[in-house]
Structure 1
Amino acid sequence: MDSAATLRNKLHQYIDVADEQKLQAIYVLLEDDINWRYSSADIAMLHQRRQQHLKGLSKSYTVEESLEAVRQQKK
């Protein structure tokens, strides 16, 4: 399988020359992802979690701690 960068490049090149019908088909497949937005409830939850973190009310992990936890799960 090609790398993500290679796939992006191939898609960009194809989109530049694709006919309108194929562009519309690709858009229909990806429309939900293209138009995705955080809901107001999602944003409120993220703000609440941030405030809990800043006040020290929630457990936080460093990047190193997170990576070590993932590595331990793989074993």
Structure 2
Amino acid sequence: MDSSALRDKLHHYIDVADEQKLQAIYVLLENEIDWSYTSEDIALLHHRRQQHLQGLSKSFTIEESLEAIRKQKE
């Protein structure tokens, strides 16, 4: 089953699940839901943004990215 189909099934299940099952699902996923960026993550994001804005890093348009993905699938 691909991830899209799995998401659809989970969304449907959550929509119809009773309170006890919803609580169980939440407990299983709670650690992954409650996350935040560390100060190091934020510093890296700021650095990469500055590199991009100054033209010092390679950037790709959406079209270029999609084309590269399509070529990899061939």
Tell me, yes or no, if the aligned pair for 2:51 and 2:57 is still in contact at 8 Å: yes
Identity across the alignment (%): 59
Q: Tell me the residue number matched to 1:12.
A: 15
- Give unpaired runs (5+ residues) of structure 2: none
TM-score (norm 1): 0.76
- Give unpaired runs (5+ residues) of structure 1: none
Q: Tell me the residue number matched to 1:44.
A: 43
TM-score (norm 2): 0.77
CA distance in 2, matches of 1:52, 1:45: 10
Extract structure 1 runs of 4+ deviating beyond 6 A.
none
Q: Tell me the residue number matched to 2:26.
A: 27
Q: Tell me the residue number matched to 2:66.
A: 67
CA distance in 2, matches of 1:62, 1:56: 14
CA distance in 2, matches of 1:57, 1:34: 34
